[in-house]
Chains A and B, each alone.
Chain A
Amino acid sequence: MFGDYSLADLSSIFVMQGFAGLILFSVYVLMALGLAIIFGQMGVINMAHGEFMILGAYVTYLCSTFFQEHLPALFSAYFFVAMALAFLASGALGMLVEWALIRHLYKRPLDTLLATWGLSLILQQAYRSIIGPREVGVELPTWMMGSIPVTDSIEVQINGLFVIAVTTVITLGVAVLIYRSRFGAQIRAVMSNRSMAGAVGIDTEKVDRYTFGLGCGIAGIAGSAFTMIGSTGPTSGQLYIVDTFLIVVFGGAASLLGTIASAFSISQTQSTLEFFLSGSMAKVLTLLAVVAILMLRPQGLFTLKVRR
């Protein structure tokens, strides 16, 4: 297995595979973070998560064309504007969906699954009708392309670095928001005891709406970031949904730290296996391992042992 490579090659392999794994890790965290909030904190199974991501991607696409045509001077910075708008658009749609749909279903988690699946079909068709069935190519500013050579054989992708940076910022932001802010305290209060939270004067409906919106907004940012590495089409969102759910469940739904740990272990397993096996088998083995571990340890990686 290693015989084909020289020692120097091997060390480069490990460095670059480590970096590839790190990018995959960031991608997974970004995908799963919004869902971890929605599923982990609220118990809602949002099957339309991928479509919220794609909304962010489409917003980025529209931004890129807008800047190209009207503000070419600022094109190199458009991506930041696009990410902010993606957050707002997906978040706003999320709040609308919460108001119209989700709030009626808090006691029926399996029904949220069906309803949001229906929503995902509607969104897909909406994208198809409005923007068209073809995939759209998102132009990136030149500074985000290419890679930085570290040594002769080791190069670091700029957009990979960018994804890692975005993930870090968003994750820290969410952690601070949930564990340090007043709004976070309210979220946690509502999620742990709804009626008590209501009794102490927290507007639980509002908290629900903003929480759902937050989760969807983060999905929008993820979608925006993914235009750098993936495809943007009406059905692209479906590519992500199984992976995303597995990451959240594997991490132990209620814990952000768990989601991160789970994204880390899954991404490292997958990128390592991918290097030594074929891509399909790597994927199958990774998913199988996750499912098998979940069967043995259904509470996921990081769940506190609690009194039932």
Chain B
Amino acid sequence: MTSPKTSPEKSSLQSLSKAVTVNDNPFMKPIEWVSLLLLAGVILVVLPLVLDGFRLNLVGKYLTYAFVALGLVICWGYAGILSLGQGVFFGLGGYCMAMYLKLEASSVENTKIQSTPGIPDFMDWNQITSLPWFWQPFHSLPLTLLLVIAVPVAFAFIISVAMFKRRVGGTYFAIITQAIAAILTILIVGQQGYTGGINGITDLRTLHGWDIRTDSAKVILYFVNGGLLLGCILMAQYVKKSKLGRILVAMREKEDRVRFSGYSVAGFKVFAFCLAAAFAAVGGAMFTLQVGFMSPSFVGIVPSIEMVIYAAVGGRMSLFGAVWGTLLVNFAKTSFSESFPDLWLFGLGALFIAVVLAFPNGLAGLWREHVEPRLFRKAKGLAPTPTPVLPAHGAPAE
């Protein structure tokens, strides 16, 4: 049944909708444009002007985590699927990128002291004498760029189809994704001949001949990263504003009702999870490019859970909040751990608890409650929509 049967009374009501304008569904509300411009301005203009190259590169690194947080907003905030294994996708994306870069850095020339020149150094140390088959595709840059997304998404697809078709959800999903993160970490560490083991894939140099270690390359990569992030935000915004976004919210609340409205709930969850995985993968690839290596320490449970807190601090329903939350937590981490290393874990722990108990809507909630009203008292023209009322259980419609 793809189109509704029209009923006889319809014609008499034709005119009714024309009078109503409020349920228009613009791609972005004015306040969201303001948020976007603010974010874009800070990332693309203010920070590059204010920060030196070193700090800017740091921010670039943080912003790669923001991709993961962004995915979590869709997958956790909207669809209600808490994944404790986002590091898996971040890592897979990063590893795909790192494999390409490593192959380029392991030219026969660069590796002539090895017993088998032309393969990555760690393979040589492990008596591997030819490049394994799954490394072969990473000789090609276009194929690598494809695989950066495709591998994590395919993995996410397999996991999520298997689980959502059987209606594994909520806490069980969280625990199983966590176990998957643990398994993958052990596997990567254990198969060091193929993966570089616990050291990861290090000493990456050039991307298609372009030296990514130079200061100018870092700046360019920073802007590419920022641009991609804004692009992903817009993509997420599109999803959020589409009917799919509302279905995700609906599903989180009344899964059965959505099912009995004729939707395949599993399909939508799979989509949300795969989208989050794709975002994470882009972040991972950008991480590899900017930091210059990838290691199993991003795949495990601890980084995966830390990434959840970025989204939670920003406000789990807020796309922009995810970015601000990521930046805030990481800045805090860097500056705190520089001055009071011992206190940092107390602070981080307290942050987890506070975000859950006191500020379930995170930064986005504070912004909406305290900043926006004041902003609009001054500039009334900006605010055609009333501030949405926050529900008691902390899941605002942004």
Instruction: Write the residues of chain A forming the contact surface with B, with a CB cutoff of 8 angstroms.
Output: 39, 43, 45, 47, 101, 104-105, 107-111, 113-115, 117-122, 124-126, 128-129, 238, 241-242, 245-246, 249, 278, 280-281, 283-284, 287-288, 290-291, 294-296, 298
Contact = CB atoms under 8 A, between A and B. Distances in A.
9 contacts: A39-B171, A45-B171, A101-B353, A105-B356, A122-B350, A238-B302, A283-B186, A296-B166, A298-B167
Given A114-B312, A295-B163, A125 B357 contact: no
A291 B186 CA distance: 15
A113 B168 contact: no
A120 B308 contact: no
A81 B105 CA distance: 60
B168 A295 contact: yes
Given A45-B174, A241-B301, A284-B187, 19 more contacts: A39-B171, A45-B171, A104-B357, A105-B356, A107-B393, A110-B170, A113-B84, A113-B171, A114-B308, A115-B352, A119-B352, A121-B346, A122-B346, A122-B349, A242-B179, A245-B175, A278-B190, A284-B186, A291-B179
A121 B393 contact: no
Interface in B137-177: 162-163, 166-168, 170-172, 174-176
A281 B356 contact: no
Nearest to B345: A125
Contacts of B176: 249, 291, 294-295
Given A284-B190, A291-B176, A298-B168, A121 B349 contact: yes
Given A242-B179, A295-B168, A298-B167, A120 B349 contact: yes
Contacts of B180: 291
Contacts of A124: 345
Contact of A118 (B82, B178, B182, B349): B349
Given A101-B353, A101-B357, A125-B342, A295 B179 contact: no
B355 interface: yes
A121 B76 CA distance: 22
Contacts of B356: 105, 108, 111, 114-115, 118
- 9 A-B pairs closest in CB distance: A118-B352, A121-B349, A122-B349, A125-B345, A280-B190, A298-B168, A118-B349, A115-B356, A295-B162
Given A121-B352, A122-B345, A284-B187, A245 B178 contact: yes
A281 B162 CA distance: 23
B348 interface: yes
Contacts of A109: 170-171
A269 to B, nearest CB: 14
B305 interface: yes
Contacts of B170: 109-110
A121 B345 contact: yes
Q: Which of B348, B351, B357 has the most CB atoms of chain A within a 10 A radius of its CB?
A: B357
Interface string B259-270: 000000000000
A124 B345 CA distance: 8
A125 to B, nearest CB: 4
A113 B172 contact: no
B183 A288 contact: yes
Contacts of A121: 345-346, 348-349, 352
Contacts of B190: 278, 280-281, 284
B309 interface: yes
Nearest to A101: B353
Contacts of B301: 241-242
B202 to A, nearest CB: 22
A114 B306 CA distance: 10
B346 A125 contact: yes
A43 B84 CA distance: 18
A298 B166 contact: yes
Contacts of B308: 114
Nearest to A108: B393
Contacts of B346: 121-122, 125-126
A249 B175 contact: yes
A246 B182 CA distance: 11
Contact of A115 (B162, B166, B179, B357): B357
B357 A117 contact: no
A113 B82 CA distance: 10
Nearest to B175: A245
Interface string B66-81: 0000000000100000
A114 B352 CA distance: 6
Contacts of A39: 171
Contacts of B179: 242, 245-246, 287, 290-291
Nearest to A113: B174
Contact of B186 (A101, A119, A280): A280
Given A108-B393, A280-B190, A284-B187, A125 B349 contact: yes
B49 to A, nearest CB: 35
A115 B162 CA distance: 29
Contacts of B350: 118, 122
A47 B351 CA distance: 16
Contact of B342 (A107, A129, A290, A295): A129
A19 B363 CA distance: 54
B69 to A, nearest CB: 14
A129 B370 CA distance: 37
Interface in B286-325: 301-302, 305, 308-309, 312
Interface string B337-349: 0000010011011
A128 to B, nearest CB: 8
Given A114-B312, A296-B166, A287 B393 contact: no
Contacts of B175: 45, 245-246, 249
Contacts of B357: 101, 104-105, 115
A242 B184 CA distance: 13
Contacts of A298: 163, 166-168, 172
Contacts of B163: 295, 298
